[in-house]
């Protein structure tokens, strides 16, 4: 069978390990042929398809980024998938392995509904896909954030300052929560749990009073109750999406003004997505990749591989 592998949306440590898992098992066990789609859905629409032989994926599990490139381009031309079908047919591609987050997997479901043979693989550092207990990339992001907070703590202690650290998490606080707990933060601000300005300043002051350098971890999607950060954001990106960011700076100003404690902000940003994946993410990504090619071979179209407990399972893309 000829299979195309595509990743779309933001990159994520472990993407290359998934691609390697798909191709190695697919080639060796099932004797499938593979091609890669360049830069996410852009490659499908613009017919940018490259051969993906076994030799191209050797040694990839430890490499960050993605050898295929990625983008957030939409595959729908005039709201239809005709162009995608045309490109797949031109290359005799029978199936698509789509690796992505919420947006990409929603598109994968629509492709399936439209008759395209597709199997999904969940991907996001944010860990915000409900059908899987973990997404690969999350563990790496948490490790980077934890190490960063540890480092910021020592400089904060040296100056008796409060250190605010903004971590990624557009809609959820998983990275903030895990890194904050691991690093022993005094306050962790996440979108799921409302906290007031008074509470945050109280926690900071309490830590300072005990002779500690207060550490506040805030998820980029957090906002104080009654304030919609997204709605108030003026910045838009090249795709016209409202950009988050700046909540760390806001919290920093607020703490300094209200408590008088000297405070500094660090926004970790894309540092959390770059570089080598952790061993946990390499293993999870490899398991997802090999399971995805099993699903393709069993023609379980419209499903996604997922981690439930310690097992890799298949869930329906509609449920995911
Ligand atoms: O979804 C993963 C994520 O890293 C979010 O945490 C973050 O809001 C977003 O992607 C950043 O996207 P971009 O790479 O387009 O700036």
Tell me the best of 170, 242, 267, 270 to mutate to test the pocket of ligand 1, counting ligand atoms within 8 Å of each CB and taking the most: 170
Residues 6 or more apart from 199 whose CB is under 8 A from it? none
Tens digit of each residue's pLDDT (9 = 90 or more) over 251-286: 999 999 999 999 999 999 999 999 999 999 999 999
Nearest CA to ligand 1 atom 9: 170
Annotation marks residue 281 as catalytic: no
pLDDT at 171: 93
**162 and 216 in contact (C-beta within 8 Å)?**
yes
pLDDT at 230: 54
Cβ–Cβ contacts within 10 Å for residue 121, how many? Answer: 31
pLDDT at 231: 52
Q: Give the residue numbers of the binding site for ATP.
A: 10, 72-73, 101-104
Q: Which atom of ligand 1 is nearest to the CA of 221?
A: 8
**6 and 41 in contact (C-beta within 8 Å)?**
yes
In the numeric block, the tokens 């997997």 are attached to 105
Tell me the best of 69, 71, 126 to mutate to test the pocket of ligand 1, counting ligand atoms within 8 Å of each CB and taking the most: 126
- SS3 state of residue 204: helix
CA–CA separation, 54 vs 160, rounded Å?
54
Strands 95-100 and 187-189: what pairing?
A: unpaired
CA–CA separation, 284 vs 247, rounded Å?
32
CA–CA separation, 273 vs 101, rounded Å?
14
Residue 312 vs residues 85, 128, 279, 292, 298: alpha-carbon distances, Å: 30, 17, 17, 10, 15
The strands making up 263-267's β-sheet, listed across from edge to edge, are 187-189, 215-219, 162-167, 263-267
Token digits of residue 139: 């563990």
ipTM of the complex in this document: 0.95
Strands 215-219 and 118-122: what pairing?
A: unpaired
Given 126, 139, 281, 294, the catalytic residue? 126
CA–CA separation, 62 vs 216, rounded Å?
32
CA–CA separation, 255 vs 262, rounded Å?
8
The full length of the chain comes to 320
Percent of the chain with pLDDT over 90: 89
Cβ–Cβ contacts within 10 Å for residue 192, how many? Answer: 14
SS3 content of the chain, % helix, strand, coil (to 5): 40, 20, 40
pLDDT at 227: 79
Tens digit of each residue's pLDDT (9 = 90 or more) over 26-76: 999 999 999 999 999 999 999 999 999 999 999 999 999 999 999 999 888
**24 and 293 in contact (C-beta within 8 Å)?**
no
Token digits of residue 66: 């993605």
Q: Is the CB of 126 under 6 A from ligand 1?
A: yes
Instruction: Give residue 234 CA to ligand 1 midpoint distance, Å.
Output: 17
Annotate 46-68 with DSSP letters as a single string. Answer: TT-EEE--GGGGTTGGG--S-TT
In the numeric block, the tokens 């099932």 are attached to 30
**135 and 123 in contact (C-beta within 8 Å)?**
yes
Question: What are the pLDDT tens digits along the chain (320 aa)?
Answer: 999 999 999 999 999 999 999 999 999 999 999 999 999 999 999 999 999 999 999 999 999 999 999 999 988 877 778 899 999 999 999 999 999 999 999 999 999 999 999 999 999 999 999 899 999 999 999 999 999 999 999 999 999 999 999 999 999 999 999 999 999 999 999 999 999 999 999 999 999 999 999 999 999 999 999 877 655 555 666 666 656 669 999 999 999 999 999 999 999 999 999 999 999 999 999 999 999 999 999 999 999 999 999 999 999 999 87
Helices and strands of the chain, counted as H and E runs: 10, 11
CA–CA separation, 84 vs 43, rounded Å?
9
């Amino acid at each position: 069978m000829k299979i195309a592998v595509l990743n779309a949306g933001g990159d994520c440590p472990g993407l290359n390990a998934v691609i390697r898992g798909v191709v190695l098992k697919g080639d060796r066990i099932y004797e499938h042929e593979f091609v890669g789609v360049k830069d996410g859905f852009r490659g499908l629409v613009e017919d940018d398809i490259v051969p993906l032989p076994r030799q191209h994926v050797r040694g990839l599990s430890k490499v960050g980024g993605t050898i295929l490139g990625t983008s957030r381009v939409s595959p729908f031309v005039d709201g239809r998938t005709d162009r995608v079908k045309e490109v797949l047919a031109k290359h005799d591609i029978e199936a698509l392995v789509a690796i992505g987050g919420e947006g990409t997997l929603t598109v994968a479901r629509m492709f399936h509904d439209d008759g395209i043979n597709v199997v999904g693989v969940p991907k996001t550092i944010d860990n915000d896909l409900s059908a899987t207990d973990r997404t690969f990339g999350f563990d790496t992001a948490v490790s980077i954030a934890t190490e960063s907070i540890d480092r910021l703590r020592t400089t904060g202690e040296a100056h008796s300052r409060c250190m605010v650290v903004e971590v990624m998490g557009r809609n959820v606080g998983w990275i903030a929560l895990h890194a904050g707990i691991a690093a022993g933060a005094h306050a962790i601000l996440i979108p799921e749990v409302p906290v007031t300005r008074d509470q945050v300043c109280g926690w900071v002051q309490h830590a300072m009073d005990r002779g500690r350098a207060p550490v506040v971890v805030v998820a980029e999607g957090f906002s104080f109750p009654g304030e919609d950060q997204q709605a108030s954001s003026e910045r838009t990106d090249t795709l016209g999406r409202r950009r988050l960011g700046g909540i760390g700076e806001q919290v920093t100003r607020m703490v300094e003004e209200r408590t008088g404690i000297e405070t500094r902000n660090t926004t970790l940003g894309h540092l959390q997505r770059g570089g080598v994946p952790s061993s946990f993410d390499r293993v999870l990504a490899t398991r997802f990749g090999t399971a995805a090619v099993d699903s393709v071979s069993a023609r379980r179209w419209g499903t996604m591989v997922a981690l439930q407990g310690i097992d890799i399972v298949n869930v329906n893309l509609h449920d995911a």
